[in-house]
Each structure stands twice: as structure tokens, then as C-alpha cells.
Amino acid sequence: MSLNIFWFIPTSEDTKYLGDKKSSRVVDFDYSKQIAVAADNLGFDGVLIPTGRIWEDPWVVASSLIGATKNLKFLVALRPGVMQPALAARMSATFDRFSNGRVALNLVVGGDKDELEGDGLYQKPKERYEAASEFVDIWKDILKSSYEKELVNFDGKYYKTTNAKLLYPPVQRPTPPLFFGGSSDEAHELAAQKVDLYITWGEKLEDVKEKIEDLKKRASKYGRTLRFGIRFHVIVRETEEEAWEAAEKLISRLDEETIKSAHEIIGKKDSIGQKRMADLTNGGKSRTREELEISPNLWAGVGLARSGCAIALVGSPEIVATRIQEYANLGIDTFVFSGYPHLEEAYKFAELVFPLLPNRVKEKLSKF
């Protein structure tokens, strides 16, 4: 199976040492462009642009990088409640047209309660998922209206639109691909009914397998099939020993106050997936490799200092490629990786791991 490998563009700061402000890099347009161009030239299929108030706006960032790249896809966020579906449809189609089919959308429903209310969204979790379902229906219908030549009317509990129409159709049809992740029952139901690809944060192989089996069963009730993706950090070096040394170095400047502060913020989130990530570090109390290596070469150290994905694949190129294949064997075809700092680690991953994965190495013309 041919795999889709995405990288990550951080849009607030980047660093060699988690939690150490002195070593952090300012992420401006030039640095974001460096990462995007590197990912494009190295042969990554796409990049994830993060969303939330600690990050720069993902649509502006992604749009600014279209002209600097040739093949790279941009995974950007759709935020029901923060965006209206008609506007989201126009933005999606415009980006798809201007990039010649290089956009994928990441449906983001959960988040921090304080942040959501700061954006004007006061719905409870169940309401957010109900609203997201309506949002996706309208978004899809308006995108299709551009070539099916039908006006869109919708009168739901959360959204209403009258005679909506999109004039300029997307390149990708019927719509650009829609990604989504979530661990709650409501999230799994939404995924089963509405999205193209379900993406999970990295977890133990058996836990991911359980998720996939549940989602396949739910989707089959609606006569649908899903694709699957997974989000990991990665620390790869020429030897396993060097990789674990790099992992320890990454968290070597974390202090107790920083870890405590990070987990106070994490604790405010109503995400079940985020709770699962926090549990992997015992609420930020784990410290040793034995405690943080939750499964062979799956390390939760990143979760000590940041929310979101907590797990990194750690090892030699052969080990990392083997772990990727184990998840691919479950039916996962899309992997979204990141590493600190993101520019250098993109090169390490591509140069060390791509030769061990199917269909990843580009042909190089010899000068001789």
C-alpha cells in the first residue's frame, strides 16, 4: 500500500528543547516557508497547519505558501461555529483552485472551553457535534452546487441557508478530502457518517486497532467506508541508542513548574482524546524512559510539555519504518509526523526513513 506522509509546520515557535524559552525559535513567514519548501523538495505529500489561538491563522499561512511549493498538500482547519459553512465552502474552493487541487480540510470540533468561548462559541460538546454534522452537509452541498447547478437550501437546528450558490468549483470532486479526529462516541458517529478520513493521535497498536474496528462497524451501518490516518511525533537517528539520547535531550530542560503549568491547561480541555494523551504521562508525573515508553519505541515524553499528540516514534530508521508498517497493516494510509526542531527533523526523517518505505524516494538525475 502506498502511504501518504505529511509533515507539520509549527506557527508559534519551534525549539530543540521542550519548555525552554531561551532555545525557542521565532516562527515567522520565512521560517514557515523554509519548512514548506523543504517538505516539498524532500517528497512529503503534505503538511498539517495547526489551528487555535496559540497559532497563526492556518488559512493565511497555507495560502501564503502556495507559490513557494509545487506538489505539497495543505491540511487546514474547518471550524464549525467559528466559520459559516458557506464562507468555508468558498475558501475551500478558492484554495483548491489556486493551488491546483492541493488542499485537504481538517474538521475541528473540540478544543479548550476558554478558547472556544473567546472565539464566541458557547455550545456544549454534544451540541458542537450536532452543529458540525449540519455544517458538513451544507459545506458539501455548496461545493457541489458549483458544478451541479443547484441552489442550496437548508433549515436545521444550528444552521440555515437560503439559495446558497458557489460560482467557482473546486478542482477536487466531489469535494476536497475531509479529515477528522476524535475519541468520543459522538466523534466516532460523526466520522462514520460524514468524513473521508478519520485521523487519530498516536496510541498503542491495540488501542488504534480497536478504534479502527469500531469506526468501520459504524460506517458500514451507513453504507460507507473510511480511510484512516494517524498523528505522531518522530525521533529517528542512525542508531536506536542515538535516537533515545535525542529523546532525553529534548526534555532535558523541562522543569517541574513548566510541566505543572502545561497539565493545568490540558486539564481544562473537554476532549476525551486529550485525556487519553494525559493519562499516558500519568498526568505529567512520569519521568523515566521506563515510565514514558508506553510500548516498544512509543514514547510519551512530548506529552509532558504540550497538549495534542503526546507520542513519538523513537528509534533507528529500520525500527521507525517497522512501526509505521505495523500501523499501516491496520489499514492506516496517512501519517502526519512532526519533530523538534521541525526544519532539521524533516531532513532526518526523509533521508533516513523514506528509503525504507514504499514509493517514497524520488528519482535523481546523475550528473555523470
pLDDT by residue for the chain (368 residues), tens only, comes to 689 999 999 999 999 999 998 889 999 999 999 999 999 999 999 999 999 999 999 999 999 999 999 999 999 999 999 999 999 999 999 999 999 999 999 999 987 888 889 999 999 989 999 999 999 999 999 999 999 989 999 999 999 999 999 999 999 999 999 999 999 999 999 999 999 999 999 999 999 999 999 999 999 999 999 999 999 999 999 999 999 999 999 999 998 888 888 777 777 676 788 788 878 888 888 778 889 999 999 999 999 988 888 899 999 999 999 999 999 999 999 999 999 999 999 999 999 999 999 877 654 444 44
What the block records as the C-alpha cell of 73 is 498538500
Beta strands 103-107 and 73-78 are parallel
Neighbour-count burial for 328-339, b at 16+ CB within 10 Å, e otherwise: beebbebbbbbb
What secondary structure letter does DSSP report for 228? E
Contact 92, 77 (CB under 8 A): no
**pLDDT per residue over 280-320, tens digit each?**
888 888 778 889 999 999 999 999 988 888 899 999 999 99
Amino acid at the residue 86: A
Alpha-carbon span 56 to 44, nearest angstrom: 22
Q: Indicate the pTM of the whole model.
A: 0.94
What secondary structure letter does DSSP report for 195? -
Alpha-carbon span 109 to 269, nearest angstrom: 12
